Amino acid sequence: MSELRGVVQGMDCANCVAKVRKNLENAPGVEDVKLNLVSTKLIVEYNSEHTSEKDIIKIIKKAGYGFDDSYEQQSFFNLKHNKNLIFFLIGVVFLVPTLIIASLDLLDTHPLYYIPVLVVVAVGGIPVYTKALNSLRAKTFDIDILMVIAIIGAMIIEQWEEAAEIIVLFTLAELLEAFSMDKARQSIRSLMDLTPPTATRLIKGKKHEIVPLEDLVVGDRVSVKPGGKIPIDGKIDWGNSNVDQSPITGESTPIVKAVGDQVFSGSINLDGYIIIRVTRMPQESTVARIRQLIEEAEQEKSKRELFIQKFAKYYTPVMVSIALVVFLVPGVFFNIPIDLEILRYWLYQSLVVLVISCPCALVLSTPITVVTAITRASKRGVLIKGGKFLEAISDVDTVVMDKTGTLSTGKLRAYKVEALEGYSEQEIIEIAYGLEYHSEHKIAQAVIDLGEKNNARLLGYKDVKILPGMGIQGTRKGVNYYLGNETLVDKILTLESCDLDCEESESIVSYVLTDEKVIAHIHMSDELRLETKMSIEALREMGVANIVMLTGDNEEVASKIALELGIDYRAELLPEDKMLYVKEAKANGQSIAMIGDGINDAPALAISDVGISMGVAGTAIAIETSDIVLASDDLFSLPYLFKLSKETKRTIRMNIFLSLFIKLSFFVLVFLSVSFVPIGIFFGDSLLWLAVLIGDLGASLLVILNAMTVGRKKYSTIDKSPKN
């Protein structure tokens, strides 16, 4: 199986995609076609025994579009690649004298006065005629064919200036669509501008070399000067600095990064010289993944978008039939013998119906809004994998959340030491600090942090051993010291001699002991994220009825956190238990959003209506399984996501209403004509050009401008300031 990759040039609407895909899928030897309207990327899998790259490219060009395998996107205003803009400008230049001549009633007095209008029709209309011809070849009946019929009809009834106006206004509407799609593509292309094309790689100590980004491999060390962009995902190997992550995660304030901390490609190193060790290949970097997610998101249509596309497919033929009825019934069947003047009048009204039936604004109403919302969300660190997931969020009434790594930081904090058997608290901290200094376990890190906080001495131990599943052991001055869980205590001591009674049960406890007795309890807890409580409150204010925590932790720990947050919970759950809970909730009619970060959350993420994963703390499988990724692990992104979804849904509804209302208004005018109410009372005798200006161009412009407002609002109701 062979593969052809590249970009299709000249596409500006869903109809263009359908035309190219249909032609390619019908070609012999073509197995699969993937074509994206926003990125214009094309991937064709084909059998080289039955077809070739040249044949496939020929099919694309025959449909009226260009092909380039370089992936280089051209600017909308590049006249070399956008010849339609040239034809439009020629049409505008010659339309002005046409309108002046028509207003002076000179068209009938001198044949030379027809020259400007003929230039508009012959040259300005080339983009329309070309597309219509390609549609006929592809056996597709679309708006371009309708417009050609309308232009020919206008000339038949000698409405020359209106024929010219239709051409210029319709070409302007098409260019407007192309420009709006170009803006969407620019927003995706701008993501790649976040990373520099080269990086400074360190070799053999202090030597540096400038290399292309694609030459970097995992393990390479890259230096970044103050003020420079971080080119690749990695961990800081040397140095520290304030890093501006706002281009990637949307965080408004710089983050202090030191050795061991993770940094993202596209972030800006503000004030320190740092050396980064590469942890991801360039094509797997944060910026690359964001771009890929946005490009793939356009393929995942929302229910409303799919409905509109199906509706538009049948809408156009139906409107053509209505236009024929408007012409034939009053003009022909009710006018026998035929009066040419009346026939001419009803042909004009049918052309108005034909022009106003253009579904461009209707078809544009959803994809432009969705693409705008998804792109804006990505700049806030929320990566949405498709329009259907963005839409689904607004219908969610139950949010199910994992605890560790989602509601909490996943990092343990030792907050209390119970010293026993005559030991002081500082002595216990130093014993534990010296032991755990040799371990990289999560509990060890909590003990090390506690020791550093209390300026503990680093005691030396002999024969340090990690005891898998139990703890750690070491010898100091002839005494064996241990630090671990109850299993370790049971192994070292008899039940009668050990003290396991703790002042608190709602915490993780590590025991410090010798060969004879337990000498201390160290209490630890998994800290809640700072924003957790406020984010949950914000979700409640937005109408989310049920918020439930699902955790594998014990009942005591889970109940304490749930009580603090004021949410429901289920404790001591296995991964299949989480999935079963989501399945049962869906069976009861609830719409579920699941938020998690680990491998154990993946089954529940997959089965939920919307799966949301944490981007930093999240495992690869959780991120892959989820529908939405919170790139910065910021739970404040949840209320933002819900508000953006509701705003997007409102905007789509408004756009559909506006486009249909404008068209309905013109149909009412035609109906008034059918009822023998003179149109001249309202707009004069020229309704055809007005139908193009308002019904097509005006409606498209209104829909696009409205779509572009989505996500611009700063949701100030989400207050990140700490509350007392």
Percentage above 70 pLDDT, the chain:
76
266 has pLDDT over 70 = yes
Residue in this structure with the two tokens 């119906």, named with its chain if needed: 353
Please compute the mean of the pLDDT values over residues 272-300 and round it to a whole number: 73
Stronger pLDDT, 505 or 197, i.e. the higher one: 197
State the average pLDDT over residues 341-367. Answer: 72
How do residues 28-83 score in pLDDT, each as one tens digit? Answer: 888 888 887 666 778 888 888 888 888 888 888 888 788 877 655 566 666 666 77
Q: What local confidence, expressed as pLDDT, does residue 474 receive? A: 92
Looking at residue 711, what is its pLDDT?
A: 75
Most confident option among 106-115, 199-208, 387-396: 387-396
| Confidence (pLDDT) at 242 | 83
> Nearest 5°: phi and psi at 270?
-85, -50
Q: pLDDT grade, residue 424 (50/70/90)?
A: very high
φ and ψ at residue 262, rounded to 5 degrees: -85, 140
For residue 703, pLDDT beyond 90: no
Annotated active-site positions, please?
A: 402
Phi/psi for 22 (5° steps) reads: -60, -45
Q: Each residue of 437-458: pLDDT tens digit? A: 877 777 888 899 999 999 999 9
Pick the closest to residue 582 from 599, 613, 603, 604 (CA basis): 604
Position 144 scores a pLDDT of: 76
Residues 537 and 527: their CA atoms lie apart, in Å, by 18
- Answer whether 213's CB lies under 8 Å from 193's CB: no
Give tens-digit pLDDT for 556-604.
778 888 888 889 998 888 777 888 898 899 899 899 999 987 666 778 8
Q: What is the model's pLDDT at position 428?
A: 92
154-181, pLDDT tens digit by residue?
787 777 777 787 788 778 777 776 776 6
Mean pLDDT of the residues in the chain: 78
Q: Which residues are within 8 A (CB) of 362 and not within 5 positions of it... i.e. 6 or more apart? A: 308, 311, 312, 315, 656, 659, 660
C-beta of residue 98 within 8 angstroms of C-beta of residue 26 = no
185 compared with 3, residue with greater pLDDT: 3
The sign of the torsion formed by the CA atoms of 633, 636, 638, 644 equals: negative
Domains of the chain in start order, with CATH, are: 2-68 (3.30.70.100), 198-284 (2.70.150.10), 368-407+530-644 (3.40.50.1000), 409-528 (3.40.1110.10)
DSSP string, 182-237: HHHHHHHHHHHTTS-SEEEEEETTTEEEEEEGGG--TT-EEEE-TTPBP-S-EEEE
Reported as a single tens digit per residue, the pLDDT across 502-531 is 544 445 788 999 988 899 999 887 778 888
- Residue 429: per-residue pLDDT: 93
pLDDT at 686: 52
What's at 87, amino acid-wise?
F
Q: Is the confidence at residue 215, as pLDDT, over 90?
A: no
Is residue 485 within 8 Å of 442, Cβ to Cβ?
no
Query: Per-residue pLDDT averaged across 191-217, rounded?
Result: 79
Residue 717 has pLDDT above 70, yes or no: no
Residue type, 184: A
Is 336 or 706 the better-scoring residue by pLDDT? 706
Residue 301 φ then ψ, to 5°: -70, 145
**Residue 652: partners with Cβ closer than 8 Å, 6 or more residues away:** 304, 365, 366, 369, 370
Q: Is the omega angle on the peptide bond into residue 337 within 30 degrees of 0, that is, cis?
A: yes
Q: How big is the chain by its Cα radius of gyration, in Å? A: 34
Q: What is the pLDDT of residue 400?
A: 92
Distant-in-sequence, close-in-space partners of 301: CB < 8 Å, separation ≥ 6: 309, 386, 387, 388
Instruction: Average the pLDDT over 402-410 and give the result.
Output: 80
Among all chains, which residue has been given the structure tokens 């035609």? Answer: 670
Instruction: Give the three-class secondary structure for 266.
Output: coil
Helix axes 286-297, 160-192, angle to 10 degrees: 150
What 8-state DSSP symbol labels residue 502?
-
Rounded to whole angstroms, the Cα distance separating 346 from 679 reads 12
Looking at the predicted structure, is the pLDDT value of residue 723 above 60? no
Nearest to 408 by CA among 555, 603, 553: 553
